[in-house]
Amino acid sequence: MFERDTPLFRESSTGRLDKYPRSPWARWGLRLLIAAGYAAIATWFHIASGGGAEGTANAALAARVDDLARSAVDADVTIIGVLYPPLTSLAASIIPGGAFGLAIAGSLIAGLTLQLILQSMKRKSFHPLVRAVFIFTLATTPIFTYIATTNFESVVGLMFFGLGMLDLVRFVTWANTQAGFRAGILFACAAFSDSTTTFSALIAAVAGALIIQSRSGARVANAVVVAFPTAALFVALSLLGIAFGAGPFAMIRGGLAWDQVRVDALFASFASFSGVLYFAPMVLMVLTSFALRFPGTALIAVLLTASTLLAYGLGLTPPGNAGTTYTLMLLLAIAIVPTATTVAHRVVTCAVALLLWGIGWLTAFQWSTIRDWMLTFGGAA
């Protein structure tokens, strides 16, 4: 052991932490209780829309599953492109009920995600008020509810990203090596669950070099551990595409193509109030990072926003996708915000969460995709 390898911080002597709630029955009961709320909203939308889910990401995924079945019969190499992102495509192929079945499955994922986030905040000894504010902010914004009930790909990808960020902090800041390997796998799962989070592993690698370090001189090693699983999978699939003569990007829906029309429309929207709201969470994260004296977090927030814009410009974002960047900012804040040690710090943390909650509601009424979804519940859309 060298002195540089001695960790500055440890979360526990054994590397294991208590689960919350401690009883498995209580944990699953909490998950199912949360999921039931989202499932009820999904059912309400299904009834109010007359069973129609046109324009939603779940409808597009259900249609792609049918294409996947036809491609499998033809035994054509293009199945690689149709399959992407493979984890959610394969899951959707065995989930019955089409778009509505995917909405119920997404509700279950949302319940699991919120329980695991609450468990992480409890382990980090967050004040009960801070925990309540953050969970309230994430769970009650129309944006997260929209994603959970209409976009199975996105809610699964966000779950993997959020859990990956939590394990990244345990790895880098609290010297839990097992959590580091798990974080790398989780980010790979995020990239192969939701095309919008394709570049999340790269952002996580940068984050691993910027957040508080438990071992000095390990920044590059941390980045490699986090990024390696995703990079290895993409390289393997690229080589497979080349071997079959389909090109290196065959696994990403047949290729990557810059959509200038889509990009021009996106940049035009930035001049509107909805465009301002789109960047508001990032700006808030940047300001908070400097206020709490963690400037590295500001760069992570900027890069995370840029990565979703890049995915949109390359045509990776599925139809009906909305609110992913906002939710990524929330998950980033929950994962890397330090435990408040003073009343002032606690007040700032809660205020930022509540501001993000307000931005989420304003955004929901400004973006036509989510606004039309909300109007459907009253039969107005």
| Dihedral-angle region of residue 18 (phi above 0 means left; psi in -120 to 50 means alpha; beta otherwise) | beta
The identity of residue 147, as a single letter, is I
Confidence of residue 14 (pLDDT cuts 50, 70, 90): low
Lowest-confidence segment of 34-48, 233-247, 270-284, 344-358 by average pLDDT: 233-247
Please provide the average confidence, as pLDDT, over all residues in the chain.
84
Candidate from 15-24, 66-75, 95-104 with smallest mean pLDDT: 66-75
pLDDT of residue 2: 44
Phi, psi of 12 (to 5 degrees): -165, 160
d(CA 165, CA 185): 11
Q: How far apart are CA 223 and CA 226, in angstroms?
A: 5
Q: How far is CA 17 from the centre of its chain?
A: 24
The pLDDT score that the predictor gives to residue 244 is: 73
Buried b / exposed e along 210-236 (16+ C-beta atoms within 10 A): bbebbbeebbeebbebbbbbbbebbee
Other beta carbons within 10 angstroms of residue 8's beta carbon come to 12
What are the pLDDT digits (tens) for 63-79?
A: 888 777 666 655 556 66
- Do 148 and 171 contact (CB within 8 A), yes or no? no
Question: How much is the pLDDT for 342?
Answer: 76
| Percent of the chain with pLDDT strictly greater than 70 | 87
Percentage of residues of the chain with pLDDT beyond 90: 29
Q: What is the pLDDT of residue 70?
A: 65
**What confidence score (pLDDT) does residue 164 get?**
92
pLDDT at 1: 46
pLDDT for residue 117: 94
Instruction: Retrieve residue 85's tokens.
Output: 């992102």
Q: How high is the pLDDT of residue 340?
A: 66
Distance CA 104, CA 35 (A): 8
When mean pLDDT is compared over 28-42, 226-240, 324-338, the highest value belongs to 28-42
Q: Which residue type, as a one-letter code, is found at position 255?
A: G
pLDDT digit string (tens) for 124-165? 888 899 899 999 999 999 999 999 999 999 999 999 999 999
Lowest mean pLDDT among 9-13, 168-172, 190-194: 9-13
| Lowest mean pLDDT across 59-73, 109-123, 245-259 | 245-259
Say if CB 308 and CB 325 are below 8 A apart: yes
- 181: helix, strand or coil: helix
Looking at residue 215, its pLDDT comes to 66
* Joined tokens for residue 160: 């993997």
Q: Is the pLDDT score of 120 beyond 60?
A: yes
First to last CA, the chain: 65
Residue matched to tokens 């394969």: 90
Q: What is the DSSP letter of 77?
A: T
> Residues 225-241: what's their mean pLDDT?
85
- The confidence score (pLDDT) of residue 145 equals 95
Q: Which among 107, 161, 177, 146 is positioned nearest to 335, based on CA atoms?
A: 161
Sort 78 into a burial class: Cβ within 10 Å, 0-12 / 13-18 / 19+.
Answer: middle
pLDDT at res. 220:
82
Q: Whole-model pTM?
A: 0.90
Query: Cα separation of 239 and 250, whole Å?
Result: 10
pLDDT level of residue 25 (50, 70, 90 thresholds)? very high
Average pLDDT over residues 344-356: 88
Average pLDDT (220-229) is: 85
Cα–Cα separations (whole angstroms), residue 372 to 73, 146, 304, 366: 38, 11, 27, 10
C-alpha span between 11 and 169 (Å, rounded): 11
Q: Kindly report the length of the chain.
A: 381
User: Which residue from 215, 103, 80 is spatially nearest to 155, judged by alpha carbons?
Assistant: 103
